[in-house]
A and B are shown apart, each in its own frame.
Chain A
């Protein structure tokens, strides 16, 4: 099973600042088969990024994904008020599919 470790657990930032979220895998994620989701309180997750760096339909370009192998990053260039939420990474290399534990981006 591929274990995904997200850091930091909580990121305290102000609107307009840059956010950098990390997702580290316990073994190589082949084919960059990694996705990122945003989840707001009481809502289902929303797909942001797939294949490590491809934005999903309708996702603003302030969101970007990068990385390969075991280290992946989600960046938000300038935080908007609606970006404060919890973010999860997920691999889809092989079964079982797993998610990281999440990073909460909160208003400082």
Chain B
């Protein structure tokens, strides 16, 4: 069973860049799509975007100007950068694996809370 683990700073200052890593273990990053999803405290889920192992990406238009998702297959990791953050970006950030059959998520990381505050 593939496992995913998010890592990165839990506190980011306004206007700075939020950077997270998702490490994939017990499975290869190859041949799958990998996704970032976030959830503000007490609220619902928001799709941020995905990356294919080869590097092609697709982002939520609402975040597209600020988001970069990248991948390093040699490390079995993929990454999220979100620029110019504000308090509205405070959320639990999840990484997830798309299923082989479609863009629904059969494996998730445990999530990491990122707070944007001075």
In the assembled complex, the Cα of A37 lies from the Cα of B104 at a distance in Å of 10
Q: Contact: B111 with A44, CB < 8 Å?
A: yes
- Bound state CA distance, A98 and B60, in angstroms? 9
Contact indicator B102/A44 (Cβ below 8 Å): no
The number of chain A residues with a CB under 8 A from chain B is: 24
Number of interface residues of B (CB under 8 A): 21
Q: A43 vs B109: C-alpha distance in the bound complex, in angstroms?
A: 9
B residues whose Cβ falls under 8 Å from a Cβ of A? 44-47, 58, 60-62, 94, 96, 99, 101-106, 108-111
Contact A88 B104 (CB under 8 A): no
B contact patch SS: loop
Question: Would B102 and A90 count as touching, CB distance under 8 A?
Answer: no
Contact of A88 among B44, B58, B94, B108 (CB under 8 A): B44
Q: Is A13 an interface residue (CB 8 A)?
A: no
Residue of B nearest to A97 (CB): B47
The smallest C-beta distance from B15 to any residue of chain A, in angstroms, reads 25
B-contact bits for A47-83, CB 8 A (1 contact / 0 none): 1001100001100000000000000000000000000
Least CB separation from A35: chain B residue: B104
Least Cβ–Cβ distance between B55 and chain A, in angstroms: 17
